[in-house]
Structures are given as C-alpha cells and as structure tokens.
Amino acid sequence: MKFVVSPYHIVSLGGYIVERDFPYKNIILVNKTDEAVKVEIPVFEESWIEEHRELGIEVIPVKYEDSFLTLFRKAQSDLNSIKAKIA
C-alpha cells in the first residue's frame, strides 16, 4: 500500500508500524520538498527508513525513550521556517 506525503507536510506513522520487534515506537515523516512523495506502508523493518530517506523525505525515528511530542514539534517548527521562506 502507498501513502502520499504532500509537499511541505509532516505526518506520523505510528499506526502503520506492524513489526513487534521494531526498535521505534513511531516514525515522523517530513516532506520539505515542493513535490508529493509516495511512501510504502505499513513499516515492517528498519531498512524502510533508509529507503525512504533516499526518496528525499526526512525520516525521524522515535525511540521508546524519546518524547514524540517534542520531536514532532521541532520538526514542525523547522518545516514552518521553510514554508515561511518560500511564501
């Protein structure tokens, strides 16, 4: 299945991680480009992360000890800065 991340958008894939032994509780995707990017879901293995970074999307893995909200807000702030520059 594919999921489209719109230009200059951020999404969380926590509900699409289906592997029990996956080392991350969530993944944040940030599309900082002006083109939509298709990503494969669900996420089954760690190699997915590098494969999708090669598509030009920022992939932020969230470990179990990390604060999801803090990482998401930082990524959102960075994305807002980019959007402000192009507006």
What pLDDT, on the 0 to 100 scale, is given for residue 4?
95
What pLDDT, on the 0 to 100 scale, is given for residue 44?
83
- pLDDT-derived band at 74 (thresholds 50, 70, 90) equals very high
Secondary structure element (H or E) that encloses residue 38, with its range: strand 37-40
SS3 54: coil
What pLDDT, on the 0 to 100 scale, is given for residue 63?
94
Between CA 65 and CA 58 the distance in angstroms is 20
Count CB-CB contacts under 10 A for residue 38: 12
pLDDT tens for each residue of 17-60:
777 788 999 999 999 999 999 999 988 889 999 999 999 999 99
Domains in the chain, number: 1
What pLDDT, on the 0 to 100 scale, is given for residue 61?
96
Give the residue numbers spanning the domain of 15. Answer: 2-86
Between CA 33 and CA 79 the distance in angstroms is 10
What pLDDT, on the 0 to 100 scale, is given for residue 81?
96
Q: Are 11 and 5 in contact (CB under 8 A)?
A: yes
